[in-house]
Amino acid sequence: MRGWEKNVRKVVPYVPGEQPALENLIKLNTNENPYPPSPKVLEALSRMDGEKLRKYPDPASSRLTRALAERYGVAEDQVFVGVGSDDVLGMAFMTFFNSEKPVLFPDISYSFYPVWADLLRIPYETRKLDENFTIQKEDYLTENGGIVFPNPNAPTGLLMPLSEVEEIVAANPDAVVIVDEAYIDFGGRSAVPLIAGYDNLLVVQTFSKSRSMAGMRIGFALGQAPLIKAMSDIKYSYNSYTMNLPSQVAGVKALEDEEYFQSTLKKVIETREKAKTRLSALGFTFPDSRANFIFAKHKEKPAEEIFQALKERQIFVRHFNQPRIHDYLRITVGTDEEMEALFAFLEEYL
C-alpha cells in the first residue's frame, strides 16, 4: 500500500445505468424521456451567443430561480437550483443530515441514498417495503435524523398518497423530510402545496425526466426560505458556480413551454398505460406505476435471462442484482414504436 492510500476516503460508488454508444439501440434503461426537449429550448440553445461563455454564469441562477418560483407558485427565496436533482439531493444530505440519529429511507429505493450517506458518514437505517413494495408510513414515525424517499418510489413506480406524505412530514417537526419527486409529473400529486404549512419539508424535482433534459443537468428543491438559505450556504461553501449558462437559459425556456410539457407527459402516460396491458398479456406482473417506467416480473423466465436476451437485440432495460428485486426488470416507457419493438421481441422470445 502506498503511503497516501491509507488517507483516501473509501467509497462504494453509485452505478449509473449504461449509456452505450451504439446507433439504433432502444434505450429503456435510465428513465429518460423518449421525446426531445421543447423546440423553444433547442432554438434558444442554437441562438446562444458563445462569447458569453467567457464570463462566469450567474451563481444564483436568478432567472431560472424566478421562472421556477412563478411556475410552482412559491417565492424566489423558496427555490434552490442545482446540477440535476442528484446535485440537489447530495447538497441536501450534506446540509440537513447532520445528526447522530439515523436518517431513514426505504430498503428498495433510489440506490444513491446509501452512497451519499456513506460518503458523508451519515448514520442511516432502511425501512422495509411490505410484500407489495408499498412504503409503510408507520416506519417513519419513529425518532430519526431525517427522512428521504422518492414519490413515486423508484424503481417500483408506486405512488404514496399525498395525505400519507403529509402525515410523515407532520409527525417529524424536528427532522427535515426530503420528498424526491423525480417522477411526480407522470401522474402523482406533488407535495409542493404542503411547503407553506411545514418548515421541515423539502421537495426535490428534476428536468431530466418529464422535461426531456437529462443531458442539461437541471434539478431544483422547493422549501421554506430558511431551508433554502441553509442549502445555499453549503453550496457557496463548496462550489458557487454549479449551474452553467446554457443550462440556466435552457431551463427558463423549458418552463415557458407549458403546452409542450403537458403534451409530452400525456404521450408518455398513454404509452405507459398501453404497456401495462401488453406486459400483463405476456405474463408479467408489476406494481401499478405512476412513473415513466414499469417494474415488471415474468411468471416463468428469470429477469436476468430476459435482460441479456434483450441486450443482444440492442434493447436496453435495467436489472438490479439485489435481494428481493432480482426477479424484476425496470423498463422505461419509450415511444409507442420503441415499445412495439420490445413487445414484438418478447412475444417471440417468451
- Residues forming beta bridges with residue 201, ordered by sequence position: 177
> Residue 350 CB, nearest distance to ligand PMP (Å)?
27
Is 47 exposed, middle or buried, given 0-12, 13-18 or 19+ CB atoms closer than 10 A? exposed
Please provide residue 295's backbone torsions phi and psi, each rounded to the nearest 5 degrees.
-105, 100
Q: How far apart are CA 171 and CA 149, in angstroms?
A: 15
> Residue 14 CB, nearest distance to ligand PMP (Å)?
9
Q: Angle between the 336-349 and 258-281 helix axes, to the nearest 10 degrees?
A: 10
> Residue 86 CB, nearest distance to ligand PMP (Å)?
3
- Burial string for 175-213 (b: 16+ CB within 10 Å, else e) reads bbbbbbbbbbbbbbebbbebbeebebbbbbbbbbbbbbb
What does the binding site for ligand PMP look like in residue numbers (CB under 6 A)? Answer: 84-86, 110, 150, 154, 180, 182, 206, 208, 214, 219
Q: Which is nearer to ligand PMP, 80 or 346 (CB)?
A: 80
> Residue 125 CB, nearest distance to ligand PMP (Å)?
19
Q: Which is nearer to ligand PMP, 319 or 346 (CB)?
A: 319
> Residue 312 CB, nearest distance to ligand PMP (Å)?
25
Q: How far apart are CA 182 and CA 169, in angstroms?
A: 18
Q: Which is nearer to ligand PMP, 153 or 172 (CB)?
A: 153
What is the torsion angle, in degrees rounded to the nearest 10, for the CA atoms of residue 95, residue 187, residue 185 and residue 277?
Answer: 110
Residue with the shortest CB distance to ligand PMP: 84
> Residue 110 CB, nearest distance to ligand PMP (Å)?
4
Compute the C-alpha angle 133/190/185, nearest 5°: 80
Classified as helix, coil or strand, 222 is: strand
Q: Which is nearer to ligand PMP, 190 or 206 (CB)?
A: 206
Q: Which is nearer to ligand PMP, 57 or 152 (CB)?
A: 152
- Burial string for 305-315 (b: 16+ CB within 10 Å, else e) reads ebbeebbeeeb
> Residue 227 CB, nearest distance to ligand PMP (Å)?
18
> Residue 302 CB, nearest distance to ligand PMP (Å)?
24
* Pair type for strands 26-27 and 315-316: parallel
Q: Which is nearer to ligand PMP, 91 or 175 (CB)?
A: 91
What does the longest C-alpha to C-alpha distance in the chain come to?
Answer: 60
Q: How far apart are CA 264 and CA 32, in angstroms?
A: 12
Q: Which three cell numbers stand for residue 16?
A: 449509473
> Residue 93 CB, nearest distance to ligand PMP (Å)?
12
Q: Which is nearer to ligand PMP, 296 or 346 (CB)?
A: 296
Q: How far apart are CA 288 and CA 46, in angstroms?
A: 40
Q: Which is nearer to ligand PMP, 30 or 346 (CB)?
A: 30
Q: Which is nearer to ligand PMP, 139 or 180 (CB)?
A: 180
